[in-house]
Amino acid sequence: MLKFTSMAGNIFGTLFRLTTFGESHGDAIGGVIDGCPPGFKIDLQQVQKEMARRKPGQSAIVTQRKEADQVRILSGIFEGITTGTPIGFVIENTNQKSKDYDHNKDAYRPSHADYTYDQKYGFRDFRGGGRSSARETACRVAAGAIARQLIPQVEIVAYTAAVGEISLKETYPAIDLSKAEENPVRCPDPEIARQMEAYIRDIRSQGDTVGGIVECVIKNVPAGWGEPVFDKLHAQLGKAMLSINAVKGFEYGSGFEGTRMKGSEHNDRFNPDGSTQTNYSGGIQGGISNGMDIRFRVAFKPVATIMQKQPTITKDGQQVIMQGKGRHDPCVVPRAVPIVEAMAALVLADNYLLQESNRVAARSSDATPNS
């Protein structure tokens, strides 16, 4: 039986809401931000700078596709200031090479979304993955770059913690995160970055790919953000990260390692000012930020498109051999760093507004509690 299903789930957030659209090989991609408060100065060069961090072709170890990724703001920002109206934006697709994907037309790429799309929609845009393409994340980065400017005191820094077997020996705060942007891998340890870069070049020369881990540290979130039951702050962050292409896992604070600890070791002891001596909690307790650094890790699988021959099947179940073509990343992690930051920014700006929506009793002049 044929089955066709619409693609829902293109809206993210509760009060600060991003809706995105666009396929990798259509005319353009874009989005709308609904709920951005007025009066905030938005530095559009900063937005473009974030786009450059995600852009293909930015270094020798990423895909060599070229996209201008110029964000055209159509509404909601006037003379550099948000007006409170929805912010519509468009990013034209300028470098589609649909021919690169002709080989996919009949066969399913293993561990891609080709098979599941066909099963769900009865339709598949074989030109680079359509909506499932990571090109969609460009809209997340654009919106995230705006979201960050609502909460300028909050510092969000992501970086590469592992590429395959090569991983940071030390971890934050023992390492200087400011060095992450100094190398194309975005790893804050220069020596390990060099090893990672060499390994990625090696993997690419084999026509293969490799996975990795992105860590993220968020400073200066005040205590009190997040909701305690279904919308715990880490649950929202987890969903945001797991919605990025190729992500297989999320952990915060002590994470999976923490399962091996005893309560007497794991409990974070308080300092008199409410800060804690350790931070196994990862800055979140009971789903609510506690004012310490928020820390989490995101696992990325190896890119599914490899430049080696692989057996696979066609839509009709015929076994065929396919070989990846096109311009793909040997390791997604360096370009994923700004995407992780952008999704974190969307979650935090939303929770900032949620928190503000209800801090009414203590400050509202026109509706004080009736005491």
Torsion of CA 64, 65, 68, 73, to 10 degrees: -120
Query: Residue 203 Cβ, how far from a second copy at the closest point, in Å?
Result: 7
Q: Say if CB 253 and CB 338 are below 8 A apart.
A: no
Query: Residue 244 Cβ, how far from a second copy at the closest point, in Å?
Result: 9
Collapsing DSSP states into helix, strand and coil, what is residue 321?
strand
- Cβ closer to a second copy: 7 or 60? 7
CA-nearest of 189, 214, 238 to 336 is 214
Query: Residue 112 Cβ, how far from a second copy at the closest point, in Å?
Result: 7
**Whole-number Cα distances in Å, 235 to 12, 28, 196, 305:** 14, 32, 31, 30
Number of other residues whose CB lies within 10 A of the CB of residue 305: 22
- Cβ closer to a second copy: 154 or 176? 154
User: Which residue in the block uniquely carries the two structure tokens 């299903």?
Assistant: 5
- Cβ closer to a second copy: 190 or 207? 207
Q: Say if CB 149 and CB 41 are below 8 A apart.
A: yes
Q: Say if CB 295 and CB 253 are below 8 A apart.
A: yes
CA-nearest of 305, 304, 22, 45 to 140 is 22
Q: Say if CB 286 and CB 224 are below 8 A apart.
A: no
- Cβ closer to a second copy: 177 or 288? 288
What phi, psi does 280 have (nearest 5°)?
-65, -25
Cα–Cα distance measured from residue 56 to residue 68, given in angstroms and rounded to the nearest whole number: 9
Query: Residue 128 Cβ, how far from a second copy at the closest point, in Å?
Result: 13
What phi, psi does 24 have (nearest 5°)?
-60, -30
- Cβ closer to a second copy: 60 or 360? 360
Query: Residue 347 Cβ, how far from a second copy at the closest point, in Å?
Result: 11
- Cβ closer to a second copy: 176 or 199? 199
Query: Residue 297 Cβ, how far from a second copy at the closest point, in Å?
Result: 8
Query: Residue 26 Cβ, how far from a second copy at the closest point, in Å?
Result: 5
- Cβ closer to a second copy: 176 or 283? 283
